[in-house]
Chains A and B, each alone.
Chain A
Amino acid sequence: MIFNLDLFLYVAFALVSSVQAVVVSRSPYAITNKTLVLYDDNLEEQSFSSQYSSFLKLIESNGFEAVVKQADSSADITLFDRFGNRLYDNVLVFPAKARSLSKSINQGILEQFAKKGGNFLFVSSNKGTQTDSSLFLNQLGIYPSPKKYKFIDYHNANTEQSLVDSIQKPIFLNDVIVPIDVEVDQLAYKDGSVSILNNNEFLIPLLKASDSSVTYDIDRGYISSESTWHSGSQGFLMAGSQALNNARTLWIGSESILSNSDINEQLVDSLLKWVFQIDGIIKAEFFNHTKVDREGNELNVTRNDKSLAENGPDYKVKDFCKFEIGISQWNGHQWVPYNSSDVQLEFSMLDPYYRLTLDFQEVREAAVYGTIFQIPDQHGMFTFRVDYKRPGLSFIDESTVVPVRHLANDEYPRSWEITNSWVYVTSFFAVVAAWLLFVFFYILSANKPVESQEKKNN
């Protein structure tokens, strides 16, 4: 049966991969299938749609309709309808000088959009820094360098003033966002800005600035600790962030990466796929635990079938438990089993009593990871928890609380089953027998009144 399922999935997988070229990939969580692209005309040399046509095509090829609008403080662009529902799945913001992106968009609205599951791609450059975008990025822990700060590398850049305009052989730090097979020899990085990051644990650094680079405020004219934004490896050129609700934000330091002239379609496609929640999407299909015997066979005997349905199995201390979680992954078209070797289960009460790495079991509707373990000799409210958070992948944090009760009065071994007790049991019966004998003989032998004996003694 298992073999058949595997086979079936293999066939299905093969079929899907053969038609992949034709079918547009899409995100499983897309609601509106629309992507808003905001740009500022003042910063663009040519018309936006011609300069970024291949980029826009990439958006379409990922299943989203690109709605291109110009950011302007007076523009009438909204992210939500009047019921507070998102109008777009993703928002891409290009560098802008405008005081705000639109009449109704400010930092708070951006936060709200992300809280409702919307994704962002922010592109900044040293030509214009939009305040609201920067503030939002700051909240995530990304601090892009503002205008005036120039990104230079005296050792490696061969341009006038040593301004960096490209990165040779970039090394991407996360292979979920940029898979290993994406090959980039040279990455255009004109008018780039550089970010420093804080230690927010949801941040995913993607590309580092070179060790010999520095950003500094050209107005000051000299390089000192006050005038530099970053120096050396503090700087980042690309960084992502995934919120608890799996809403994704990607920040890119230069728009030239996306422009027609320098675009590396393979790279940009993988970046967009991550931002649009097409790549790196996993989910827990099911989360089961059952009571089993020592060999792992399921036990059907429970004290009360009704309570089983309501409260799950009735665990007691030192029971054996079989735990399973099914994880599947989105491949752009459908959910397929997710392959991993580092899924862990925590079984905890205040502190983890167990932290077990789950083994791959089989493929059912998802890849099943599971284990069988013995519940510790401690009663209490225990939590099964799988907290699977890997940078780039969507988060899985599943937990359930079960009571583990103590032994009931009739679940202890009987006294005669304990060999140690035999000596006590024997002595008990010996005393009883002796007493009965004593009474028996006492009654039989007491033919003379006791008083007479006393009188003799006296």
Chain B
Amino acid sequence: MLYSVDKEGYVRVDSSLLVAFKLLLETAIFVSISFAAISSRLFSVIRFESIIHEFDPWFNFRATKYLVSHSFYQFLNWFDDKTWYPLGRVTGGTLYPGLMVTSSVLYHFLHKIGLPIDVRNICVLLAPAFSSITSLATFLLTWEISDTVKGLRYRKTSAFFAAFFMSIVPGYISRSVAGSYDNEAIAITLLMVTFYLWIKSVRLGSVFYASLTAITYFYMVSAWGGYVFITNMIPLHVFILLLMGRFNYKLYTSYCTWYVLGTVMSMQIPFVGFLPIRSNDHMSALGVFGLLQFVLVANYLKRILSPEKFHRLMIASGSIVLTLGIAGLVLATKIGIIAPWTGRFYSLWDTSYAKIHIPIIASVSEHQPTPWASFFFDMNFLVWLFPVGVFICFQDLSDEAVFIIVYSVLASYFSGVMIRLILTLSPVVCVCGGLTVGKLCSIYMDFKDIFNSKAQKVSGAIFDTFSKLLVTSSLIFYLYYYVYHCTWVTSNAYSSPSVVLASRNPDGSSTIIDDFREAYYWLRMNTADDSKVMAWWDYGYQIGGMADRTTFVDNNTWNNTHIATVGKAMAVDERQSEVIMRRLGVDYVLVIFGGVLGYSGDDINKFLWMVRISEGIWPDEVSERNYFTPGGAYRVDDLATPAMKNSLMYKMSYYRFGDLFQGRDAMDRVRQQRLSAQYAEHINLDVLEEVFTSENWIVRIYKLKDQDTFGRDLIDLGEQKRHQLGKKALRKKTRSKPELDIRI
């Protein structure tokens, strides 16, 4: 009998039925959370199509296609001769293969079981699929944490709420919508799984879980450069526990197991190589590993020595170790055994560092400091649940709670420095939010007393119930609002592929602007297979992925000089530029111009970065000041500076721009500046010829002209054409002595 009615009239249900029912309910909740996570990420596919987004995903996509059609070793040793011409890129050794390997394993698996799904679709849908695993991991992590939080009656509720928050938090959705096929898509999942397993192993002191942590850590290392976050988080957690005097063998076991296995495994990734023992970013993990051994010995000595002796020994050895350690670190850095801090690291501490010293890092919009509003935008009401959650963790300070506190502090700081690091903050915010809501539920959502007739009526019970109702209803309102907000943000802000733009007609109907693909397809179909396309590095991956043509620089900004060379070719006048382009072997030049449509992410707006980056290498030849008017304005109209007007980028952007306006003044809708008609028609190009301009003028492609058959200078030739003389003048010209550089 599954249930029976007892003598008092209560229904007694068999416990196995209850367990089954509970399981069913939990499964249903999980399915719903996964459904929410996946479906809200599908906006981009529904609005546009199943397409790879933005920039970096195009490279990952291309690499995945390579991996699918080649063997793993070929992929690992892949020398890419279609990028960074003529340097080439050791692609196999300079990428994190985790993402590509994941999708290729999926691809082969699906094909094995008879589901012939296209690689592109696997890539597009990988991020949503992984986001549901992230929710599960968040559930487990919160479950683990909540176990140690006092006064939390509904542990599962907290965990479910955390998972639910995680599933649709915009801060995470921004990097994991369908089509956003980037490393972060799987890395956040791995981050959460690793942290969960770490907490588990610290609690149990289990070698098994610590090894699992190391394995997921290895997966993380193979997937994203942000693994350094874990490499520093875990040692910091251990370090703080040591300072708190919480040393125990569980901690020792799990840390040593994780560190040794994790480090050895991470060194198997070619891109990481010997970094874990050579780079400063990894030194804290090594240091804590050493410290743990030291503490272990100290612990042992403490037991066998008298307190005074121990005290003296500690002071002596402590100071020796400290001085030796610091001296060793400084010396090793000086000699070059340990790589010095990288620029990207400095820019984490000083937000203006990059702007001064490494323009190439500063030029990336996602490396800018975060504006305050975007915290609310990306987290909604979790922003104020988060501190409460951290406070709850502070209340009892278990080892696991300390982890959450350390994570919160670090991630909060970093997310303030760089806008893209909001991504790493989101999970901990969701966990803390889950804890808070769980706590609120355990206090205010408990209406058992009302139905409990046996409870004594206390004065103020009505008010008690009322306040409970008030808090509950406002919580429900906020939860509703959270879902509403997340959906709105996802649908409006994060679901644009940026390869295809959506715009609204004056009558409110939407139209698709597809200039990028139009242009890349033109390149693919109309140029020679081995032609080389010069463009600013932002478009390198897209040209490689969509047009399948060789590029000079791309989003993998590994060679600053090469980027500066391209920047210089864009920034200087035609005569100098021609020399650079011929030396590089340029066939086509591609520019993005938004002046017609008002597309503000165009090359003229990025132009100053090209100038700055090339000025960094050739300060004598390029100077940023020359591109600003004496009044300090950035002008592109008649009053632009000569350096600006002569620069190749300017000419390519505005060449024949005046023709669009049929005699009226040409209006640049991005800069809101007016080019007078007679000025606009005098913008000319001699070394390049226009071969393609897309429908809305967003992409313009030029071809570098061949050298003149008779060895004449192309610019002189163009000059001659523009000042076409009449017959009489020509005759006169042949009869008067020319001004020449005479050959003797």
Contacts and interface: CB of A to CB of B under 8 A. Distances in A.
B711 A403 contact: no
A384 to B, nearest CB: 13
Contacts of A131: 727, 730-731, 734
11 contacts: A143-B737, A198-B740, A198-B743, A205-B743, A234-B743, A241-B710, A349-B87, A379-B88, A401-B86, A408-B73, A457-B303
Given A129-B734, A135-B730, A405-B79, A243 B711 contact: yes
Nearest to B79: A405
Nearest to A408: B77
A136 to B, nearest CB: 9
A233 B744 contact: yes
Nearest to B743: A197
Nearest to A136: B710
B49 interface: no
Interface string A338-359: 0000000000011000000000
A199 interface: yes
B731 to A, nearest CB: 5
B734 A140 contact: no
Interface string A212-240: 00000000000000000100011000000
B507 interface: no
A134 B81 contact: no
Q: Is the interface of A mostly helix, strand, loop or mixed?
A: mixed
A146 B710 contact: no
Nearest to B711: A202
Given A129-B734, A129-B735, A139 B86 contact: no
Given A200-B710, A350-B86, A401-B530, A135 B743 contact: no
A299 B72 CA distance: 26
A114 interface: yes
B712 interface: yes
A199 B735 CA distance: 20
B215 interface: no
B121 interface: no
* Residue in B87, B270, B744 whose Cβ sees the most chain A Cβ within 10 Å: B744
Interface string A393-431: 000000001011110111000000000000000000000
B710 A202 contact: yes
Contact of B79 (A141, A379, A382): A379
Contacts of A247: 709
A89 to B, nearest CB: 17
A229 B737 contact: yes
B76 interface: yes
Given A135-B730, A198-B740, A199-B741, A244 B711 contact: yes
Nearest to A100: B727
A383 B93 contact: no
A203 to B, nearest CB: 7
Contacts of B691: none
Contact of B743 (A138, A203, A401, A409): A203
B452 to A, nearest CB: 51
A400 B138 CA distance: 55
Interface string A297-327: 0000000000000000000000000000000
A454 interface: yes
A205 B735 CA distance: 22
B304 interface: yes
Contacts of B584: 350
B707 A381 contact: no
Given A111-B710, A131-B731, 15 more contacts: A114-B710, A138-B733, A196-B743, A199-B743, A200-B711, A202-B711, A233-B744, A234-B742, A241-B710, A349-B87, A381-B87, A408-B76, A409-B77, A409-B270, A457-B304
For chain A, the bracket of interface size reads 35 or more
Nearest to A115: B709
For chain B, the bracket of interface size reads 35 or more
A170 interface: no
Interface in B47-84: 73, 76-77, 79, 81
Nearest to B81: A403
Nearest to A244: B709
Nearest to A138: B734
A135 B709 contact: no
Given A196-B740, A241-B710, A243-B711, A406 B734 contact: no
Contact of A135 (B734, B737, B744): B734
B744 A234 contact: yes
Interface string B575-586: 000000001110
* Residue in B270, B710, B711, B731 whose Cβ sees the most chain A Cβ within 10 Å: B710
B742 A198 contact: yes
Which 3 A-B pairs give the minimum distances between C-beta atoms? A405-B79, A403-B81, A408-B77
A243 B743 contact: no
A206 B81 CA distance: 46
B563 to A, nearest CB: 14
B710 A139 contact: yes
Given A381-B81, A406-B90, A409-B76, A200 B734 contact: no
A403 B88 contact: yes
A201 B740 contact: no
B88 A350 contact: no
Contacts of B81: 381, 403
A385 to B, nearest CB: 11
A80 to B, nearest CB: 17
Nearest to A249: B710
A406 B79 CA distance: 7
A380 interface: yes
B740 A243 contact: no
Interface string A350-392: 1000000000000000000000000000011111000000000
Interface string B708-744: 1111100000000000000100110111011011111
Interface in B266-280: 270
Interface string A186-208: 00000000001111111101000
B742 A146 contact: no
A349 B81 CA distance: 13
A423 B724 CA distance: 79
Interface string B681-714: 0000000000000000000000000011111100
Given A114-B709, A244-B707, A408-B73, A143 B740 contact: yes
